[in-house]
Structure formats: structure tokens, C-alpha cells
Structure 1
């Protein structure tokens, strides 16, 4: 039964990922390579000097991810919220400012993988805080904030099951 549930979850995650725009898919894969240290993002993703510079900025922005993974507050606790949410909001603002993630769903998909399942309850707060910052263009801010559904914003609980699908670079994409 556990294998069936895991397979079903993986397929659901693959379907969700397939529903994102191609630029969101590309950014999520690149971000996972950078944030999880899977690949050399410069060799894999940089098509020109501008992307090279963007990847360099992303490496700098993501330098606190490892520390964040170990400081995720428990859902009912207020201890450590300032440091955790502050750092998470700063990283989220970087990602949303790149204008490659167009919705809370894409943001959540990425950050569940960057930080793990225990970060899920904190993602709507960080997303709203980052999307509402003045660095985000007003018309973009509106689109982002409207993408957060009432169900996600008011969820009474979040799954603790770890993500099972981590999309990776596909060679055919480079052609």
C-alpha cells in the first residue's frame, strides 16, 4: 500500500509540475540545482552573460538555505519565527523578483523541495510578505497575491509527507 501511495503522490507532483509554464519549470529546475547543490548551474543553465550573472546572484541569495532547513519552527511555536521568516522572506523576495515564478503554486512547489515538508505551514506567510514588498512591480504584486487561494491561505493543516518528485535538467531542453 505504501508503494502505491508514494507512486500516486509522485504522479500527482509530476502533473502539477507539468502544469507550470515552461519558464517556471526551467527556473524551478535551475533553483533546485543551486539550492540543493545538485549540479553546476553555470555549466547547465547559463546561456549568456546575463544568465551567468543571475545564477551568481541566486547562489548568493540561497546561501542561507542550509541554515534555514535546520531552524524551521514547529507549527505551534513562536520561538525563532523572526529569524526564520525574515530569512525566508528575503530569499523568496529574490525569487519572486526574478519574475519567473508566476503563482503561489509554483513558489510552494519549489520551496517544499528546497526546505522540506516541515516548511509548508510557513510558505503562505513568506510568499505574501515577499510578494507585497515594494521591490515587486505593482502589477506583478497583484498577480502573485491573487494566486494564493483562500484554501492555501487558511489551511487548517499541512501534509508532513516529503516531496517525492524533484525535476531535473533534461538534455533535450538544451537543444
Structure 2
């Protein structure tokens, strides 16, 4: 892959992320920080005690994520039941948090969190969880309508690694600071 195509991919991925609503963007950054143990998620993301509880639950839900990454089947008939069950369990957590409102945001997060090998499993896990009675009927409808027919029926998926992995930016970093004297 040439320099130009890598740059184009990076910009395209940044545009996709920018199109998500702010709650989805924040949840994706938080999820990636927890998945990769990049920062203290409580310090960065817990604005309320309710968010602190949610983060604690997410840390627990993500505790086996390295094993899940390593278990991604390379063939459809290889360890599917164990892998898919774990993927669905993780998807249940993320969709029930209420911050992911469409398939594109889910795919964006999971491609980065688990790697490109997970792409072919994402439509099935998303649809399985989006159709669960645990979610309110109107939420189920919105989630299921968010996946395109092309995504749901794709015969193949790219193996290219994502180029853009969003991270938390402190608000004060965006505000110009007065020069030091």
C-alpha cells in the first residue's frame, strides 16, 4: 500500500469518525482506552458516579479482550461457537450502554478494538444483539435499520488495518494558552 493510499484511508476514516454524534465519539474513545489500557478511564471519562459504575462494568466486560483478539477464526468452521459467543457477549454490553446508535459506529469501534479479522463477524453479532428483546422495540428498530443490505450480505471484507484510532483530547489542549513570561 502506497503512501498516498494510506493517507487517503486515514482521512476517510477520520471523516467517518467525525460523522458520528459526540456521544458515540466519546464512547468509542473511552472503549478504545479501556480495551488497550491506554489511560485511567475513571480519571478521563467519569463525570458522574453513574459513569464511574458504567466504566467499572466496561472494564470487567473487556477483561478478556486480548483472548478474543487471539481467537478470531480464520475459517468459518474454526472455533466459531466459542468466539462468536464471546463476541456477542461483548456486543451486548456495548449496545446496551446506549451510546452506539448505528452499525457504522459499532464496526468502527470493533475494527480498531479487535482488528480487521473480525470484520466478517460484525454484521451477524450486531444483528443478533440488535434483535434481542433486552432492547426497547424502537431501539431495536433503529439499530437494525442502520445496517445496510451491502454490509449485511457482503461476500468479503477488507483485511486492511485501520489507520485512524481516535484518542481523548483534553479540552484545555484546544484552548490557546497565554505565552509564558
What is the TM-score when the length of structure 1 is the normalising length? 0.96
Question: Is 1:111 aligned with 2:113?
Answer: no
| Aligned-pair CA distance for 1:77 | 2.8
Distance in 1, Cα, partners of 2:33 & 2:172 = 15
Q: Which runs of 5+ in 2 are unaligned?
A: 176-181
Change (3 A) 1:173 1:48: farther
Moved more, 99-108 or 129-138: 129-138
- 3-state DSSP of counterpart to 1:14: helix
- Aligned counterpart, 2:22: 22
Matches of 2:83 and 2:137, distance apart in 1: 26
Residue of structure 2 equivalent to 1:165:
164
Aligned residues: 174
Write out aligned runs for 1:7-156 (5 A).
Answer: 7-74=7-74, 76-156=75-155
1:62-116 superposed Cα distances (whole Å, 9 cap, x missing partner): 1121101001011x43121111110100110110001100000000000000100
Ranges in structure 1 where 5+ consecutive residues have no aligned partner: none
Bigger Rg, which one: 2
**Per-residue CA distance 1:23-58 (angstroms, 9 max, x = gap):** 000000000000111111011100011100000000
With normalisation by structure 2, the TM-score equals 0.93
CA RMSD of aligned residues (A): 1.4
